[in-house]
């Protein structure tokens, strides 16, 4: 068979094959998606291959905070792609400086180092913290320790999973890098007790997303800030999921008026179009990087810079943090009004909300599958929590639609739970 004939046969098989079956046959089985095949997105809506419409209540873990195909961001992407997409950082470009200026101005941080994924931003933060500890704090070489919070999720690189408290994330992937220790999330006293002269930094999510939308006690971040300052320890906030308006403020740490020494951003920074992340820090921390210390072929490329700049401008121009605060408060109030016994807790800030489901009633996965049949898409976490974290452009009526769908699902599952088995004759 000729090359042309083989290519035609491949196209024919691909066009008629079941996409789910193709994934299962040719891909790694490292995800367990809901049984839906998405082919298009528009705003807060997703459409499957049959044309059915779904309300996106997950927004790709905040990566689609601006909605699918936001016209301003698509315009920035396409115009920049036609001009210049990538050169690597071997040369200056006319896009990067403006992006970095907007990013530092929006966050109040001194300097930014662009990367691609959120995990890369966290890895960059780890390198910066260690070198700062050796060169500035005078920790003996090779002895720097970084504290993290139990229940953390910062990505899936080998360094990061090495300090995870989730057994599955670690199983089979060791040996792991030393120099990390965990303290209970939300417990400032435990943090202070764990600090030694060799402690370089404390990396913490202001709200833990993957752990189940876990909000720490009021005043926790302020206490962490005071402790880190007093002990000369870097406070690094991982805001890859919570940053850029998601919780009703530019940064989740803004709710307590806290300014960290280092900050990681990602997901929403790419406007739902491509991976863009960054590590930001005060000047003396970032100054530890010299040419050759760190880099990325794609980090800070002009396409990413153009989209990231447009994303920051759109966040401000459309007042999306304020919308998240307003619609998030309505979402939580509406969920509480359901008063369904299967819901044991509702927690979060802004449009980052977790609904805890009593496992004796149903798994959160079962609730998500039932929501899919109602035209609402989201994903569970830890088998017991349904995430409700839609694009920040969501309207009030769409929030109400999602809550009403959850109410119907819980009622239907309740009836299934209490329906007796048919008698045997």
Catalytic residue (choose from 66, 153, 163, 298): 153
CA distance 302 to 83: 9
Contact (Cβ atoms closer than 8 angstroms) between residue 321 and residue 249: yes
> Apex CA 395: angle with CA 330 and CA 399, to 5°?
45
**Which residues have CB under 8 Å from 231's CB, separation 6+?**
192, 195, 199
The answer to whether 238 is a known catalytic residue is: yes
> The tokens of 21 are what?
């079956």
CA distance 239 to 280: 11
Catalytic residue (choose from 131, 267, 349, 379): 267
Catalytic residue (choose from 131, 163, 238, 254): 238
DSSP code per residue over 360-406: TT--HHHHHHHHHHTTEE--EETTTEEEE---TT--HHHHHHHHHHH
CA distance 145 to 181: 7
Regarding beta strands 53-56 and 376-377, do their DSSP bridges make them parallel or antiparallel, or are they unpaired? Answer: parallel
Separation of first and last alpha carbons in the chain: 63
> The tokens of 236 are what?
């690094």
Neighbour order of strands in the sheet with 38-42: 38-42, 45-48, 53-56, 376-377
Contact (Cβ atoms closer than 8 angstroms) between residue 61 and residue 384: no
The answer to whether 267 is a known catalytic residue is: yes
What values do phi and psi take at 279, rounded to 5? -105, 130
Beta-strand runs (E) in 107-195: 111-115, 145-149, 180-183
Instruction: Give the active site residues.
Output: 153, 238, 267
């Amino acid at each position: 068979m000729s090359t042309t004939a083989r290519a035609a046969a491949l196209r024919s098989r691909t066009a008629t094959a079941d996409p789910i079956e193709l994934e299962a046959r040719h891909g790694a089985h490292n995800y367990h998606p809901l049984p839906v095949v998405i082919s298009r997105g528009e705003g807060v809506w997703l459409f499957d291959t049959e044309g059915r419409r779904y309300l996106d209540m997950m927004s790709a873990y905040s990566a689609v905070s601006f909605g699918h195909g936001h016209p301003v961001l698509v315009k920035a992407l396409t115009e920049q792609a036609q001009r210049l997409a990538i050169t690597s950082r071997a040369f200056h470009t006319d896009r990067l400086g403006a992006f970095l200026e907007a990013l530092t101005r929006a966050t109040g941080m001194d300097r930014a180092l662009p990367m691609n994924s959120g995990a890369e931003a966290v890895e960059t933060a780890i390198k910066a913290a260690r070198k700062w500890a050796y060169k500035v704090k005078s920790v003996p070489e090779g002895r720097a320790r970084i504290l993290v919070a139990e229940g953390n999720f910062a990505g899936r690189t080998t360094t990061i999973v090495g300090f995870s408290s989730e057994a599955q994330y670690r199983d089979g992937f060791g040996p792991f890098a030393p120099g990390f220790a965990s303290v209970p999330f939300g417990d400032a006293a435990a943090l202070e007790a764990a600090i030694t002269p060799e402690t370089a930094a404390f990396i913490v999510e202001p709200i833990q997303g993957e752990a189940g939308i876990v909000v720490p006690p009021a005043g926790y971040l302020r206490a962490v800030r005071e402790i880190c300052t007093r002990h000369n320890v870097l406070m690094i906030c991982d805001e890859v999921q919570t940053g850029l308006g998601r919780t009703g403020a530019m940064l989740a740490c803004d709710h307590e008026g806290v300014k960290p020494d280092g900050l990681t951003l990602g997901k929403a920074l790419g406007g739902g179009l491509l991976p863009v992340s960054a590590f930001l820090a005060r000047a003396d921390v970032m100054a530890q990087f010299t040419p050759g210390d760190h880099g990325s072929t794609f980090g800070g490329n002009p396409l990413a810079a153009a989209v990231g700049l447009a994303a920051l401008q759109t966040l401000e121009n459309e007042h999306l943090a304020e919308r998240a605060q307003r619609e998030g408060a309505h979402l939580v109030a509406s969920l509480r009004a359901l008063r369904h016994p299967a819901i044991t807790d509702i927690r979060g800030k802004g449009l980052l909300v977790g609904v805890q489901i009593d496992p004796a009633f149903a798994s959160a996965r079962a609730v998500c599958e039932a929501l899919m049949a109602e035209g609402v898409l989201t994903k569970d976490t830890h088998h017991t929590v349904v995430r409700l974290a839609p694009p920040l452009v969501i309207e009030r009526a769409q929030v109400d639609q999602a809550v009403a769908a959850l109410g119907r699902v819980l009622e239907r599952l309740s009836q299934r739970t209490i329906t007796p088995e048919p008698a045997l004759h």
